[in-house]
Amino acid sequence: MTDDSAARVIRALLDYGSIWTTHDLVDLSQAPAPAVRRIIDNLSAVSLVERRRGGIIAVPDWSRLLRHWAADSPAPATSQLSRWKPSASHDDLFHHLATSPVRYALTGTHAAAFWTAGPIEDDPVIYTPDPQAAATAWDLTPSPTGTVVLIQPTTDVVYTRRRSTPTGLRLAAPTQVLADLLTPDQDPTPQAALLLTRWMQTHIRTWRY
């Protein structure tokens, strides 16, 4: 389950509190039907989805599915990651991002803190399809010790169901942010992950609908 289709199907299962048919998942995820069936078979084999009468598919525990996906995700190993130095403070950078036409999604503890008001334990981590173009637009310079991390993802699913703050800053969806916080190769931040998990459990109708 380490391809783009798996990410699309799992994000659909996580982001929507629904019951599904294979046809529904194909329509929403835009993954090929054979891939969807294979992914559901794999998830069913480890009890992360349930098959019910009439071809219905359900998720008994979204947090178990998300943690399984985070542990299995190849994104940190296959995405291109680079570090950059901002010309001013992170607050100035975020203000710049809020009015930027460049496609992006903020993740990590900076994104999680918007929902949880928890501590910010890492550098800003931003998904964007063209880091060099983004760096030019945002006035960043390359630096191995830079405090801004740009990630060129291998799948566009990281931009799915982005949220916007009142100031216009675009965040990755809560499910994506939590998966990123839990991914082992990404220097996990347990406190931020725990706080975001609790927020998602308490506010499930806010993000899973």
Domains and their CATH numbers in the chain? 4-72 (1.10.10.10), 76-207 (3.30.460)
Q: Count Cβ atoms within 10 A of the Cβ of residue 79 and give its class: 0-12 exposed, 13-18 middle, 19 or more buried.
A: middle
Average pLDDT for runs of 10 along the chain of length 209: 81 95 96 96 97 95 96 66 95 93 96 94 94 96 96 94 96 96 73 95 95
- Total-model pTM: 0.93
| pLDDT reported for residue 72 | 83
Q: Which of 158, 147, 153, 111 is nearest to 131 (CA)?
A: 153
